[in-house]
Structure 1
Amino acid sequence: MYRNQELYNFLKENSRNLTEEWHENINKQNTAGVYASNDPDVVHALKEQNHEFHLHFIELFKKEEGEFFQDFKPWIEKIASDVEHVKTPIQFVIKEFKNVRNQYFDYIRRFAELHPEIARKEVDIWSDIILKEMDEVILRFIETSFKYSQGVLKAQQETINELSAPVISLSNHQGLLPLIGDIDTTRAKMILENTLHQCSQRDIHHLFVDLSGVAMIDTMVAHQIFQLLNALKLIGVKATLSGMRPEIAQTAVQLGISFKEIDIKTNLAQAIDKGK
């Protein structure tokens, strides 16, 4: 335990040297992202992040593993969501973790040279600890990065889905839902949910659903669209359908969907004009 404290003090005293040596030895020709940057602000931030890493990592010689990782967690989460690191391919981030790990092996040898009385077995124990805990740090970083990326993708997809079914408010409690592009089953379900929510939120009594921007839909999507029209009726919103292409009409007929109770107009201009 006494030797652990001495090693801890040695590494802490050299924490800035660890950072400077690490950054100086980065081969900018064989890396990418944040590690290849020459921007002074980016470089400064990167060095500070690396130094913070050392201040956390050397605590493994003082703390129990559970406490060690609990205190390390905020740093891992910060780097996993850092803009510059997010833009850096994960293999280059892992490569630098391994380079830092090798630095620790080197510094342990330096420490042992300063203290000839230290047995080889003790050096091996320290090396095994560093290897084990660094691998665990890398694993936790990868897991945290993945969760962050998944969260970002989910948020982006939700935004895209919301924008893909925009209800445009018109006068006299009227609204317009212009559907454009390909519609798959997932998007069709999102359109149904978003449209009902927006009509209720904006107090829309009459919604014009325009399909002129939709070239083709499959039977499942056609069913979803007509479910939307029925759902609108249930919440007291009158729906007028316009811009239906022959291909879409044919699909609806094949499904056995009845047009009797659906207000249909040839084009959007006609629908809005009749809705006045």
Structure 2
Amino acid sequence: MDHYFASSSKLREFFEANKNDFESTLLDEAVNVKNKITEILKIGNINLVNNAHQLTVYIINSEDNELKRFAKKEGIAWATHSLELSFKLEWVQAIRRTLWTFIHKYYDLSNQYTSNDFFTLEAQINTRVDIFLNEFFISYSTYKDSLIHAQKELVENLSVPIIPINSHVSILPLIGSIDMNRISILKEKVLAEVSNLRIQTLIMDLSGLANMEQVVISEFLTVIDGISLMGCSTVLTGLRKEVAIDITHLGIKFNSETKVLGTLQQALGEYL
């Protein structure tokens, strides 16, 4: 162990002196990744070759804290730009193989190789490569999950865009189609915003609504009833003919506190 630490500076000097050969060997080892280096640099500003040299320095110098920080940073970068994990795995394994190739060359030239050296190096270097991979994948997974959660919240908020127009009146323009998943989000978000914003009148503009499944219409009415229970009146505008026909066929009636107007402009003229 002591011998390894004593020789690590010389080993580092050897790698630095043979930097170009190291890169060449590494690229030969990373068959699939070498054609992606420019693309990865362009997409995520990630220089794989420079990062390989940096990783090698951390491993040889036994800089474990820096190694872990580097792995976490790499994990976040790859997750942010949705880069393929298979490329990262192949690249790191190519670094491992190249690292051992040059360690073997170093000891052949130095004539100081002993079995103790090998077992010490094997334990320390392979362990550090594995630590890097472990920290990288944990960081990647954690950050990716955070991104997915944030994107999900963004989509949910965009699907229920409540727009306050004064202290008591807000507009909810509904666009596209509404299925059971969206009506569930709608119910949760609308009731929460009515409470948070203290909305007294919510104008729900349906003119951009493509269609509403019949099974969803009943759930939509429960949203309106929930709004009413919270002391907020609902104004529906732009109700499309197809939706109106489905509501009529189902025999569903709005509660007495729900007002229906032809257009959003009518509602704005009346409530502003």
Q: TM-score range by the shorter chain?
A: 0.7 to 0.9
Aligned partner of 1:130 in structure 2 is 125
Alignment match of 1:118 (pick from 106, 113, 126): 113
Distance 2:205 2:2 in 1: 77
Aligned partner of 1:54 in structure 2 is 56
Quote the offset at 1:111 in angstroms.
2.9
Aligned partner of 1:179 in structure 2 is 174
CA contact (8 A) 1:112 1:123 kept: no
Quote the offset at 1:123 in angstroms.
2.5
The reply to whether residue 161 of structure 1 matches residue 163 of structure 2 is no
CA contact (8 A) 2:238 2:261 kept: yes
CA contact (8 A) 2:68 2:131 kept: no
Quote the offset at 1:239 in angstroms.
0.8
Distance 1:16 1:223 in 2: 71
Aligned partner of 2:230 in structure 1 is 235
Distance 2:161 2:40 in 1: 41
Identity %: 21
Number of aligned positions between the proteins: 267
| Shift in CA distance, 7/95, structure 1 to aligned 2, threshold 3 Å | farther
Q: Greater relative contact order (Cα 8 A, min sep 6): structure 1 or 2?
A: 2
Distance 2:210 2:138 in 1: 41
Quote the offset at 1:198 in angstroms.
3.4
| Shift in CA distance, 117/23, structure 1 to aligned 2, threshold 3 Å | closer
Aligned partner of 1:218 in structure 2 is 213
CA contact (8 A) 2:4 2:117 kept: no
Quote the offset at 1:113 in angstroms.
1.2
Distance 1:157 1:241 in 2: 27
Distance 2:223 2:231 in 1: 12
Quote the offset at 1:109 in angstroms.
0.4
The AA in structure 2 aligned to 1:10 is K
| Shift in CA distance, 113/172, structure 1 to aligned 2, threshold 3 Å | closer
Aligned partner of 1:205 in structure 2 is 200
Distance 1:190 1:208 in 2: 18
Alignment match of 2:187 (pick from 172, 178, 192): 192
Distance 2:184 2:42 in 1: 47
Compute the TM-score of the two structures, normalised by the length of structure 1: 0.76
Deviations 1:140-175 (A, max 9, x none): 323321221221122122112212221122246221
Aligned partner of 1:6 in structure 2 is 6
Structure 2: 5+ residue stretches without partners: none
Compute the TM-score of the two structures, normalised by the length of structure 2: 0.77
The AA in structure 2 aligned to 1:31 is N
| Shift in CA distance, 85/14, structure 1 to aligned 2, threshold 3 Å | farther
The AA in structure 2 aligned to 1:239 is T
